[in-house]
Chains A and B, each alone.
Chain A
Amino acid sequence: MARAVSTRTRLGYTAAAWIVALLIAFPIVYALVTSFKTEQEAIAGFDLIPSFTLESYRAVQSQNDYFRPFMNSVILAVGSTLLGLLVGIPAAWAMAFSPTKRTKDVLMWMLSTKMMPAAAVLVPIYLMFIWFGLLDTHLGITVVLMLINLPIIVWMLYTYFREIPGEILEAARMDGASLWGEIWHVLTPMAIPGIASTMLLNIILAWNESFWTILLTTTNAAPLTAFIASFSSPQGLFWAKLSAASVMAIAPILIMGWFSQKQLVRGLTFGAVK
């Protein structure tokens, strides 16, 4: 496409785009800057040049036992994702390669379960957690996170699997490959990228889930969402420390997110926009 654009127009667009982008990212950048300030600097008014102290990071890790919520976030996000893949891969596989007349309806129904408002089932889930002693346990939250993201896992995998050409399967069958041989040698290598993308997106969603993780945990299994939310009252952390805790809570996911832009679009639109 050889559209002639004058350098001046291009610079104009560039300036406008950068201003908008920096404004949107400003709260994150400002939290990052504040995390390197002293507590006095943090409330001393607008200033983008901190004294670059790591004091807040040290304080958060030592005083507030930051390690546990961080590990809980890792356990819950990764655990629920692996569990979801364990159930989701076979289901998506069967729907993509042995579809029945009802496959489309089943997929639409799975999508509809995402529309059930979480608040509507808050009461029974909370009571069941009390009855079965699941409150504030890793097992309980992992299962809930897995269930709320399962429709997205199945949908996303389904759209990836459907792109694997069926002829390859038939050729393998002609050669006398067994079902498992077929899956292991022919399809797995082609399915890995889709599974990896699904995993990445799901970890991001589970990491940031902030309804069930806050309501169903207190300390033992509380992930970063609940940990940070507990600082909504003014006592507790000060702002530089709050910023440091926030930066550490979002950094891993932010970086993962940058690498998964394309998959994000596909996963969250249920394959409708690619």
Chain B
Amino acid sequence: MATRQTATIARFMRLPAILLLLVWMIVPLAMTLYFSFRYYNLLNPAAGGWAGLENYQYFLTDPAFWQAIRNTLAIVLGVLAITVAGGIGIALLIDQPIFGQGIVRILVISPFFVMPPVAALVWKNMILHPGYGVAADIAKFFGAQPVDWFASYPLFSIIVIVAWQWLPFATLILLTSLQSLDGEQKEAAEMDGAGIWSRFWHLTLPHMARAITIVILIQTIFLLGVYAEILVTTNGGPGYASTNLPFLIYRAARLSNDVGGAAAGGIVAVVLANIVAIFLMRAVGKNLD
């Protein structure tokens, strides 16, 4: 029963947040769109004017662009595969009657709270380093040649680091969903003589479907923007081997000072994110009330 007075007040309470987000969304995006059609280099202010579609042509025909798209998708899909599969497995394991469940939970979710530069540097220097890393120690122990992970498999190494950061998130959400599964239902299925696999396929997995969809949606948003992990480990290289789209845009903007080219790349990133968003929102829409 909102009176007219409270309705007016409510409008004013909503307004600042909506206006701020509106400005935050529209102004930079409009500027990106504008710059994407301009010649604009920070180091060469003399060269200006309309570029038509030249920035896009330049950006889209650059072989590095297609590699960056492939790398972006590889990071998103690789990390999703590892975290969803691993998350389901670990959530099922922790949900069993185990001793010290609280501490196990704390250990498992900890990587999520580690800031990306720290996570990346710890993995780079102490785990995967070919001379001093634990991976090299293990290889030497078995008499194998240590692998220079970031030089030989740069993209794979980054996927491993990012998956390590997001595995706790997937696990925690799937565990939360698992714990809301009705115990009686589980028991009934057990009484009916349903085996472990049959219970998993017909009861547990369908129950977790919504949580899995949400994990995929939210992680995809963040995984499309992986940046710091690349910056402190491979710096996008060797060559463009581990450059994703955000990193390519960063290279154009900050290293080449090519505002127009970076803006065109930004618009491409928006289009890509929107395709993913529409695709995912439709999938999630069925699950959300």
Query: A-side interface residues toward B, CB under 8 Å?
Result: 1, 3, 5, 10-11, 13-14, 16-18, 20-22, 24-25, 27-28, 30-31, 34, 42-43, 45-46, 87-88, 90-91, 93-95, 97-98, 106, 110, 112-128, 147, 150-151, 154, 170, 173, 179, 204, 207-208, 210-211, 214-215, 224-226, 228-229, 231-232, 239, 242-243, 246, 249-250, 253-254, 256-258, 261-262, 264-265, 268-269, 272-274
Contacts and interface: CB of A to CB of B under 8 A. Distances in A.
A242 B121 contact: yes
A27 B164 contact: yes
Contact of B183 (A1, A16, A34): A1
Main secondary structure of the interface of B (DSSP, over half): helix
B93 interface: yes
5 contacts: A27-B111, A28-B122, A90-B17, A116-B270, A262-B176
Given A91-B13, A229-B117, A98 B6 contact: yes
Interface residues of B, number: 105
B167 interface: yes
Interface stretch (B57-65, B192-200, B228-236): B228-236
A269 B173 contact: yes
Main secondary structure of the interface of A (DSSP, over half): helix
Interface of B: 1-2, 5-7, 9-11, 13-14, 16-18, 20-21, 24-25, 27-29, 31-32, 35, 90, 93-94, 96-101, 103-127, 131-132, 134, 137, 164, 167-169, 172-173, 176-177, 180, 183, 187, 210-211, 214, 218, 221, 224-225, 227-228, 231-233, 235, 245-246, 249-250, 253-254, 259, 262-263, 265-267, 269-270, 272-274, 277, 287-288
A1 B177 contact: no
Given A115-B277, A231-B121, A250 B250 contact: no
Nearest to B211: A273
Contacts of A121: 28-29, 31-32, 266
A31 B273 CA distance: 35
B119 A27 contact: yes
Contact of B122 (A120, A211, A246, A256): A246
Contacts of B235: 232
B117 A225 contact: yes
Contact of B117 (A34, A94, A228): A228
A117 B269 contact: yes
A128 B35 CA distance: 13
A226 B117 CA distance: 8
Given A34-B126, A210-B115, A3 B132 contact: no
Given A257-B110, A268-B218, A17 B94 contact: yes
Contacts of A11: 99
A122 B121 contact: no
Contacts of A24: 90, 107-108, 110-111, 164, 167-168
The 10 closest A-B pairs by CB, nearest first: A91-B17, A90-B13, A124-B31, A119-B246, A98-B10, A232-B232, A210-B228, A257-B113, A120-B266, A121-B28
Contact of A117 (B2, B180, B246, B254): B246
Contacts of B2: 98
**Which of A27, A110, A117, A121 has most B Cβ within 10 Å?**
A117
Contacts of A125: 28
Contacts of A249: 115, 118
Given A119-B250, A121-B32, A123-B259, A204 B113 contact: yes
Given A21-B108, A225-B116, A228-B118, A94 B183 contact: no
Contacts of B172: 261, 264-265
B194 to A, nearest CB: 15
B125 A215 contact: no
Contacts of A42: 132
B32 A179 contact: no
B228 A225 contact: yes
Contact of A88 (B17, B31, B118, B246): B17
A210 B162 CA distance: 13
A265 B233 CA distance: 29
Contacts of B211: 273
A46 B131 CA distance: 11
Given A14-B98, A179-B6, A273-B211, A207 B21 contact: no
B110 A25 contact: yes
Nearest to A253: B113
Given A21-B108, A91-B13, A123 B31 contact: yes
A208 B250 CA distance: 20
A272 B216 CA distance: 13
**Which of B1, B100, B122, B250 has most A Cβ within 10 Å?**
B122
